[in-house]
């Protein structure tokens, strides 16, 4: 029987501030959040040579359109930092996902993280002048496009354009598309569009999870491919209509994407999306799968269908034997496919929640591991950059971190820390 761990998502696991424990949060208002502690608990800034901007793009007026947050090198600017969680409906979706009453969850999230910003300048002018490699990012179960900003901002600061997809397969805690209003009156907003929200769908009674998750991952692959097509269309100079209100000049991206250097990256369910995407989209030259959940991956994928290089970066505390055996089956006998494990990490060491929670709340709800969150994300990012330099043939100095890709260095090991059976069970 397939084990499904309790914390597959990007936000905190289902036990986090559940219905029976709101009092715990009330006793520790200084432990997590921004209103009282924003200066102390911040998502880390990028460490590369580029300033980073971000903007949101939505195309179409139906669920089949694309929705993404773009992180990119920008000119230095006084623009405000972008909102981390931009709409109250995301708090409601997180509450549903975590089995909390919405009225309680929304107030808690608003209090603790309502004023958190991500350290990227909102709608800052794009920095042209060179061709940047493109990275498409896929979020985990219960997450959405903004929750991995520490990773995406670091990659952009190092000279990547990063398109963080918001999936509409009902795996996000919340997402939306904009549709035309059925009735418009002069008293209403000047916009004739309204948001149609899609919330996380839990398994139905008697529903077989593997079948449902595999169906979802197929949609996720399509959404990643659509976003790739969209960015390449913009790069070619084609005009796109952003249904969101934004003053960002998308035409400034013309001829700025290195179309020969494209990769895909994701966490958990997004890690499975990476593997499926590599098997179906040859324009992705390589992929990075962070702590992947292998249940959604189809059986056909293991039959040599992933030809591109793949780096798997696991946490120490999340993985289990049957999941690792599937990874081993995927990467065996291929020197361009690597697996490493970062010691002292948990599944939530990759999303942003680990940075905006204090030690007590962070450890109690497994948002933090034994290692400092900044050190953990640095190891992951450095290994990723070294891997990308090698397999995208980048002219950078990321090869100084090559040893991490082989699992050599402080707080990293090659392969896995999980004890595996001598032979794979039937």
What amino acid positions are annotated as catalytic residues?
A: 268, 291, 347
Phi-psi region of 75 (alpha: psi -120 to 50; beta: other; left: phi over 0): beta
CA-CA-CA-CA torsion sign (3, 354, 166, 308): negative
**Secondary structure (H, E, C), the chain:** CCCCCCCCECCCCCCCCCCCCHHHHHCCCCCECCCCCCCCCCCCCCCCCCEEEEEEEECCCCCCCCEEEEEEEECCCCCCEEECCCCHHHHHHHHHHCCCCHHHHHHHHHHHHCCCEEEEEECCCECCCCCEEEEEEECCECCCCCCCHHHHHHHHHCCCEEEEECCCCCCCCEEEEEEECCCCCCCCCCCCEEEEEEECCCCCCCCCHHHHHHHHHHHHHHHHHHHHHHHHHHHCCCCCCCCCCCCCCHHHHCCCEEEEEEEEEEECHHHHHHHHHHHHCCCCCEEEEECCCCCCCCHHHHCCCCCCCEEEEEECCCCCHHHHHHHHHHHCCCCCEEEEEECCCCHHHCCHHHCCECHHHHHHCCCCCCCCHHHHHHHHHHHHHHHHHHHHCCCCCHHHHHHHHCCCCCCEEECCCCCCCCCCCC
């Amino acid at each position: 029987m397939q084990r499904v761990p309790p914390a597959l998502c990007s936000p905190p696991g289902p036990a986090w501030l559940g219905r029976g424990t709101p009092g715990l949060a009330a006793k520790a208002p200084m432990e997590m959040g921004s209103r009282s502690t924003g200066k102390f608990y911040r998502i880390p800034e990028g460490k590369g040579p580029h300033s980073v901007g971000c903007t949101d793009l939505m195309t179409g007026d139906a669920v089949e359109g694309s929705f993404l947050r773009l992180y990119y090198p920008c000119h230095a600017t006084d623009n405000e930092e972008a909102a981390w969680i931009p709409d109250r409906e995301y708090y409601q979706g997180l509450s549903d996902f975590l089995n909390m009453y919405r009225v309680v969850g929304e107030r808690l999230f608003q209090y603790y993280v309502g004023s958190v910003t991500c350290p990227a300048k909102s709608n800052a002018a794009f920095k042209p002048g060179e061709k940047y490699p493109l990275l498409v990012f896929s979020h985990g179960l219960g997450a959405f496009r903004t929750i991995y900003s520490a990773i995406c901002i670091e990659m952009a600061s190092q000279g990547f354009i990063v398109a963080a997809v918001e999936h509409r397969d009902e795996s996000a805690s919340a997402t939306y598309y904009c549709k035309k209003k059925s009735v418009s009156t002069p008293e209403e907003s000047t916009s004739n569009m309204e948001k149609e929200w899609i919330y996380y769908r839990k398994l139905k009674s008697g529903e077989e999870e593997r079948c449902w998750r595999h169906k979802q991952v197929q949609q996720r692959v399509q959404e990643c491919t659509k976003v790739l097509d969209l960015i390449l269309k913009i790069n070619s100079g084609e005009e796109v209509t952003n249904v969101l209100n934004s003053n960002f000049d998308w035409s400034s991206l013309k001829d700025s994407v290195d179309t020969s250097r494209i990769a895909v990256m994701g966490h958990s369910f997004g890690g499975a999306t990476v593997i499926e995407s590599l098997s179906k989209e040859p324009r992705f030259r390589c992929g990075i799968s962070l702590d992947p959940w292998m249940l959604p991956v189809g059986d056909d994928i293991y039959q040599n269908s992933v030809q591109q290089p793949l780096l798997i970066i696991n946490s120490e505390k999340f993985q289990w034997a049957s999941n690792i055996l599937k990874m081993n089956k995927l990467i065996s006998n291929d020197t361009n496919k690597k697996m490493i494990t970062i010691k002292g990490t948990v599944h939530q060491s990759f999303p942003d929640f680990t940075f905006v929670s204090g030690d007590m709340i962070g450890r109690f709800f497994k948002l933090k591991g034994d290692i400092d969150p900044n050190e953990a994300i640095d190891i992951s990012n450095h290994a990723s950059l070294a891997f990308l330099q090698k397999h995208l043939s980048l002219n950078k100095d990321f090869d100084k971190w090559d040893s991490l890709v082989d699992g050599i260095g402080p707080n990293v090991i090659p392969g896995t820390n999980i004890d595996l059976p001598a032979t794979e069970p039937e």
